[in-house]
Amino acid sequence: MGLEDAKTQVDRAFGNEDRGLAFENAFGGATSFLRRRYTKDVTGADLAILGVPFDQAVTHRPGPRFGPRAIREASTLQPFDPPYGWPFDPLSEMTVVDTGDLAFDYAKPSEFPATLTARIAEILSHDIGTVVLGGDHFITLPILRAYAEAHGPISIVQFDAHSDLWADDDMDRLDHGTFLYKAVKQGLVDPERSVQIGIRTVTEDRLGMPMIDARAVHEDGPDAVVEEIRRIVGAAPVYLSFDIDALDPAFAPGTGTPVWGGLHSWQAAAILRGMAGLRVVGGDVVEVSPPFDPTGATAIAGAHVATEIMCLYGWYRLGK
């Protein structure tokens, strides 16, 4: 198969091919993530993509509810070739399916966390992982509940401008700036085996969470950052959460709470690639807000991040 197939291949998302590259025109067809098959049944899959269009926990600009749709559309630029720089083709060596978006009642936000946890738990029961397309960063908390149930207290590698560790002991509040505080307090995350990258806002009590701030990334370089991540995480199961505002607004303007001085896209790519071999069991990319993304650059970055998480997951799962 090759470019000739662009003449006849369309809507691969509704076909019966679960592996291989895709060659339909990037500007047409059903925009599943990387043109993977749409299905709610994950039986036999190696990895499930799930969209979570929820942004009712934001503290400033809304819009991440449109993130999953935008990331999927941006991803249509990628499945013509294996991900650059990886010595394997995850689209051909794994069965990756797009399970569409989470169904929930937008008028009953109090019911949303349990709905998301249940869906993630159901997918994990098939002995596979998830890459979730957000949505605001609150969604990571109910996801972590399912992962902790499956793996025990988990390590989180979080790329972010904000720590999301602001104190909030009301466990019923939905706030994207407190998800990690609650995850640590609830025993879902092991802070000693976790690390945050790209932070550039103040949090007085970090609950023992290690940090590599944005300035350290700029001054020390990606290789040093990767070495520190590996030292901290070790062999623990890792959930990788990437808030797109970890990137500088020059590279990702379409987000709700942008902060200057952030990571360059090449730095993020190098760090993610350098994490190959860690026991990545799942991940998410969150806070892509298309209403503030005039050129689509933020969604493009989000699609690449999600692809890198897929590669990291596949590298460990396939024993590369």
Domain boundary assignment for the chain:
3-317
For residue 164, say whether it is annotated as part of any ligand binding site: yes
Q: What's the gap between Cα 3 and its chain centre?
A: 30
Give the mean pLDDT of 253-280. Answer: 98
For residue 160, say whether it is annotated as part of any ligand binding site: yes
For residue 245, say whether it is annotated as part of any ligand binding site: yes
Percent of the chain residues past pLDDT 90, beyond the cut: 95
For residue 162, say whether it is annotated as part of any ligand binding site: yes
For residue 175, say whether it is annotated as part of any ligand binding site: no
- 106 vs 8, more confident: 106
Give the mean pLDDT of 132-154. Answer: 98
Looking up tokens 């942008």 gives 258
CATH 1.10.260.40 fits 3-317, yes or no: no
pTM of the model as a whole: 0.97
**Coil, strand, or helix at residue 280?**
strand
Cα(112)–Cα(102) distance, integer angstroms:
10
Percent of the chain residues past pLDDT 70, beyond the cut: 98
User: What confidence category does residue 10 fall into, taking pLDDT thresholds of 50, 70 and 90?
Assistant: confident
Residue 2's pLDDT is what? Answer: 62
Nearest C-alpha neighbor of 211 from the set 148, 261, 159: 159
| Cβ contact 289:67 at 8 Å | yes
Nearest C-alpha neighbor of 242 from the set 310, 183, 193: 310
For residue 284, say whether it is annotated as part of any ligand binding site: no
Residue 84's pLDDT is what? Answer: 94
